[in-house]
Amino acid sequence: MRDYLGIVETINKDCRNLVENFKLIEVAGYYHISLFKIAGNSFAINRYNSEPVKVQKWFDKYWLYIEVKFTAQESKQRQKWIQTTHTNISISVYEGDDTDEVKIQLFRAEWDDWNDPEHIHSQPHWHITSSQAIEKAFEEYSIHFDNGDFISLLEDQRSKLFDVKKIHFAMNGNWQYDQTHIHTIKSSEQVSKWLKGLLNHIRVELEK
């Protein structure tokens, strides 16, 4: 199962001209999980307050982190064991100077195929995360200059607003055509075209 449908191989071939030195490499392999990550050259935090990752310089002050994970799962259906593969793809865009020790995550685009057409979250989808960097800056300022008093005010304001970081913003709902917001992964070419279009579109927006 190492590279389900040849997705990673196709991405590496088709996206190498979009990002300098682009390559997804296998970093972990277990009996039921295969994990591939971009071969980055600088540090960042993926999913705020979570694991440190290496990001790859994209252009100007923007950086990329890409992760592809395949998870095999067995289930019994009508006295038979059936194996399915869950595919999880995550693309994060970061901002920061070369000298910044940790880059700031702006947003993530993800496509999680759980083989479930009734799944509640849109697939693929966006996560907006840039507010976390601003919040952390205020927290660090408060700790150093007012003994943390400002943090209580920040927490009070947080409690009054819905946390948009929790929302899976639909990327391809197609509701205008009475179609679903859940799209399954059927081929490596499908994923590669999605990723190339995504990167090209994001770059156009960032370069405005």
What is the per-residue DSSP string for 129-159?
A: -THHHHHHHHHHHHHHHSTTHHHHHHHHHHH
At residue 48, does pLDDT exceed 90? no
The pLDDT score that the predictor gives to residue 22 is 95
Write out pLDDT tens, residues 137-150.
656 656 666 665 66
Residue-wise pLDDT for 99-128, tens only, equals: 988 888 999 999 999 888 788 899 999 998
Residue 130: pLDDT over 90: no
Pairing of the two strands 42-45 and 169-170 = unpaired
Mean per-residue pLDDT, 62-67: 97
Backbone angles phi, psi at 93, to 5 degrees: -110, 130
pLDDT score recorded for residue 132: 67
Q: What was the pLDDT predicted at 99?
A: 92
Statement: residue 163 has pLDDT above 90: no
In whole angstroms, give the CA distance from residue 192 to residue 64.
Answer: 16
Q: What is the pTM of this model?
A: 0.85
Query: Residue 41: which of 57, 19, 18 has the closest Cα?
Result: 57
pLDDT at 47: 72
Token reading at 199: 């990167």
What are the sequence ranges of the domains in the chain?
4-131+166-206
Tens digit of each residue's pLDDT (9 = 90 or more) over 166-208: 899 999 988 999 988 999 999 999 999 999 999 999 999 999 8
What single-letter DSSP state applies at residue 195? Answer: H
Distance CA 201, CA 208 (A): 11
